[in-house]
A and B are shown apart, each in its own frame.
Chain A
Amino acid sequence: GAGVSQSPRYKVAKRGQDVALRCDPISGHVSLFWYQQALGQGPEFLTYFQNEAQLDKSGLPSDRFFAERPEGSVSTLKIQRTQQEDSAVYLCAGGDPPTDTQYFGPGTRLTVL
């Protein structure tokens, strides 16, 4: 595809459910970032992959959040036992150092009831 795709675009979960959010980056992009964007705020960094290696997960808010990128392309962000405060848009971005341009997907809007 021409850009970064994310699925699903919208997800409604009941509190306590597990969810999995998928990111398909642009083919060949080495770097992959996940960000969380609460309503009315700027995106906040969650985690970073370089190929399949997760090099920075300092932004993950709790151990309920887990991300993987096993083959260095598609990535999945998993949230276990969702809470209402997890409601946000989850953005994925890819890039190819050292150009430093990050290409963002459209995001997945998660609503936890």
Chain B
Amino acid sequence: DAKTTQPPSMDCAEGRAANLPCNHSTISGNEYVYWYRQIHSQGPQYIIHGLKNNETNEMASLIITEDRKSSTLILPHATLRDTAVYYCIAGFMTTDSWGKLQFGAGTQVVVTP
């Protein structure tokens, strides 16, 4: 699975958009980009995933560059409850492999009032 690189931490003001970058320059053509987050003392929570098209759901938007070497997770209106570690993961669909996730260190996002 491709390795991903994320900044270790970032701050965001409550009510503003949070843009979380991720580099995955060695991603292969059939690897998806997944985003999970982990709030303190809880298990990781799925946010969104995509292959090459931009994706949006009720939690966030995922923007993937045309060359697929990087992506950005956008939390449109950050709240204090969005404070968490955010993980960007490149991996295969379960139809191609077991779908096991290879987490890195993630980005610690702190939303401040």
Give A contacts to B, CB under 8 Å. Answer: 4, 31, 33, 35, 41-45, 48, 50, 55-56, 59, 91, 93, 95, 97-98, 100-107
B: residues with CB less than 8 A from A are: 32, 34, 36, 41-46, 49, 85, 87, 93-95, 98-106
> Considering only CB atoms, which chain A residue lies closest to B49 in the complex?
A100
B44, B49, B95: the one contacting A97 at CB < 8 Å is: B95
B98 contacts A42, CB within 8 Å? no
* CB pair A103 B98 closer than 8 Å: no
The CA-CA distance from A59 to B93 in the complex, in Å, is: 19
A48-B98 in contact given A91-B44, A100-B93 (Cβ < 8 Å): yes
Contact A41 B43, beta carbon cutoff 8 Å: no
What residues of chain A lie closer than 8 Å to B106, measured between beta carbons?
42
Contact (Cβ within 8 A) A100 B94: yes
| Cα distance A102–B32 in the bound complex, in angstroms | 14
Contact at B99–A31, with CB atoms within 8 Å?
yes
Contacting pair A105 B43 (CB below 8 A): yes
Which of B32, B36, B106 has the most chain A CB atoms closer than 10 A to its own CB? B36
